[in-house]
Amino acid sequence: MAALLWLKEVIILPLMKVILAVCLVMLVFVFIEKVLMGFTSLYVKIFCRKPEKIYKCSPIEEDEELGSLAYPMVLVQIPMYNEKEVYQLSIRAACNIMWPVDRVIIQVLDDSTDPMIKELIYEECNRWLKKGKNIKYERRDNRKGYKAGALKIGMKHDYVQICEYVAMFDADFQPEPDFLIRTIPFLIHNPNLALVQARWKFVNADECMMTRLQEMSMDYHFKVEQESGSTSWGFFGFNGTAGVWRIQAINDAGGWEDRSTVEDMDLAVRATLKGWKFVYVGSIKVKSELPSTFKAYRYQQHRWSCGPAVLFKKLFWEIFLAKKASFLKKFYIFYSFFFARRIVTHFVTFFFFCVLVPLTIFLPEIKIPKWALVYVPTAITLLNAVGTPSSIHLIVFWILFENVMSLHRSKAVIIGLCETGRATEWIVTKKLGDKSKAKTNTASSKKSRVELWDRFYPLELLMGVFLLLCGCYDFKFGNDYFFIFIILQSFTFLVVGFGYVGIRAPRDD
């Protein structure tokens, strides 16, 4: 007994106090970052500082003498990998973009490994070619570098040399016909701009609770994070799709790199360190699809969390040694863009709210300040909710689900910083297109070919049991109301752990 008391007094309590201090500092970092971005976004709305008012973007003027030559040459790239459910949607949308036919090249970069899917995509391209569209079907023998490798090879074809700009769309993205008409003028009239990023609009946001919660997170990302970065610094992370690049800027930054799974972010950082600026135009929206199965969402979040951590390590000195970027912009990229948003946020969400707070129930000597438990988390939650006001009634579900996902994001960040395990693994987010609507709503839907064991997620189940024990202990012996949050969080972990979130992937034909 004396040994246990000694262990508690000498090791456990001091260690917990140090961990608490670190978590509180991280929480302050996150809070300051959220407030600054929130005020910037508010400033944009109050003073109408829209991109259309900051940058010249008058439409391209028709010229009878020049004809179609008045329009610059544009390359439209669509990278694909076994996109059976959505390849027709993206190719059709790209081919329907309003732009002189002789001034646009549509390039389908097919890395598919399934022979049947390769043939289907080839036939679809051929069909549009016969309709008079300038479409190129390009296929590699390997997947070296994944998406970055495909884009890099795609830029090396001879016909690309005559293009000034390149628009990029992932396989599930469907741009409106006027996409180029609205984006290209920003690049034409502002020679210091390298990128025009459009906003994502989700066609399946109402498919299930999980997609509703994703929509809340993504809307905050675009309406606040991207908008504040564009307004304050002329920089933000390229989203990898639904954007138009100046090809000169891509070349100036050194082209595509495949050293991480966030090749889009890599290119964006290198380009801004070369002195280029970006603009986010939220009024231009491109239809896309959210992951509607939990397994697909986990893979996506692993890539989006692990990749930035890997990139942070690789670009650390490159950021500080850049000569064309100001000290303030370099500090912003290092602290705000990488450290606060992509490392600290995940750690403090998981380790503070899901681990430290429950553990303090067994250690009454550890006192957590009320501001850290109530005021700051509430403020951060409300700041996140402004992105999707129509879903504010789901804010509690969103908090609980985000805490669950912080487990995987924290794990992914650690893997990325250590560059171990799946640090550079690229698993394409599976899209269902119209397939989910067609098959999941039928009577009991034909059961998917998902093995029973694949429905269970051990980490979530383990966390759910841990939190349930903590909550029950607090309910029985505690003199606070922590158990309300802890038990709700434990149920969320258990629901996710047993696979009752998202939709079931329909059986393939």
Q: 141 catalytic, yes or no? A: no
Contact 236, 40 (CB under 8 A): no
Catalytic residue selected from 170, 172, 264, 266: 264
Query: How far apart are the C-alpha atoms of 19 and 352, rounded to whole Å?
Result: 9
Beta-carbon contacts of residue 172 (< 8 Å; ≥ 6 apart): 83, 86, 89, 90, 288, 289, 431, 433
Strands 243-246, 165-168: pairing is antiparallel
Catalytic residue selected from 111, 170, 172, 474: 111
| b/e per residue 467-493 (b: at least 16 CB within 10 A) | bbebbebbeeebeeebbebbbbbbebb
What number of residues does the chain have?
509
Q: 111 catalytic, yes or no? A: yes
The phi, psi pair for 58, rounded to 5°, reads -65, 145
| CA distances for 373 relative to 211, 363, 403, 485, 500, angstroms | 28, 16, 15, 11, 29
Question: Strand, coil or helix: what is 202?
Answer: strand
Question: Strand, coil or helix: what is 21?
Answer: helix
Query: How far apart are the C-alpha atoms of 509 and 504, rounded to whole Å?
Result: 15
Q: State the DSSP string of 118-158.
A: HHHHHHHHHHHHHTT--EEEEE-SS-TTHHHHHHHHHTTSG
231: Cα within 13 Å, side-chain hemisphere: 25
Beta bridge partners of 202: 288
Query: How far apart are the C-alpha atoms of 164 and 72, rounded to whole Å?
Result: 7
Q: Which two tokens stand for residue 21?
A: 């201090």
Contact 279, 193 (CB under 8 A): yes
Catalytic residue annotation: 111, 264
